Amino acid sequence: MFDTKIAIVLRDDLAPWQALNVTAFLTSGIVAQAPEIIGQAYRDAGGNVYNPLSVQPMVILAADQETLRTIHRRSLERQVLSSAYVEEMFATGHDAANREVFAQFAPEDAKLVGLALRTDKKIVDKITKGARMHP
């Protein structure tokens, strides 16, 4: 049905609140990259209107730190635009601070806790090889 695939890869040692927080932030980056994935507003039987959601499913994967680094490297090598979240961003309180702390790290020394990407299905599968379905 879709030529592309959305994958969110989370480090496998995150607390539940961290995993949910990172997933939400990374998803917003995918939507910003591809606003066409947002469908129409939802309406219930009572006529209430709700926000539109993504028309494309997303797969949530888990990986250890080393596998996540490998996935990150593969995405950079293939020049796939991604959303990324580093551990230090948990200690910040706003977007400008997030960008400031993010900019302090190169890919090889970042403590990445999550990465999201959307591109051709086969490329996503190659990039995320080694990750497993999130429990």
Q: Is 16 exposed, middle or buried (0-12, 13-18, 19+ CB in 10 A)?
A: exposed
Domain of 128, in residue numbers = 4-133
> What confidence tier does 135 reach under pLDDT thresholds 50, 70, 90?
confident
Range 92-99 average pLDDT: 94
| Residues 88-95: contacts with CB under 8 Å, at least 24 apart | 90/18, 90/21
Range 74-99 average pLDDT: 96
Length of the chain measured in residues = 135
- Please tell me the distance from the alpha carbon of residue 71 to that of residue 21, in angstroms, as a whole number: 20
> What confidence tier does 1 reach under pLDDT thresholds 50, 70, 90?
confident
Number of domains making up the chain:
1
CB atoms inside a 10 Å sphere around CB 61: 20
- In DSSP terms, which residues pair with 132 in a beta bridge? 62
Say whether pLDDT at 92 is over 90.
Answer: yes
pTM: predicted TM-score of the whole model, two decimal places: 0.93
CB 131 within 8 A of CB 62: yes
Say whether pLDDT at 117 is over 90.
Answer: yes
Range 53-72 average pLDDT: 96
CB 124 within 8 A of CB 9: no
- CATH number for the domain spanning 114: value is 3.40.1490.10
Per residue, the 3-state secondary structure of 66-113, as one string, reads HHHHHHHHHHHHCCCCEEEEEHHHHHCCCHHHHHHHHCCCCCCCCCEE
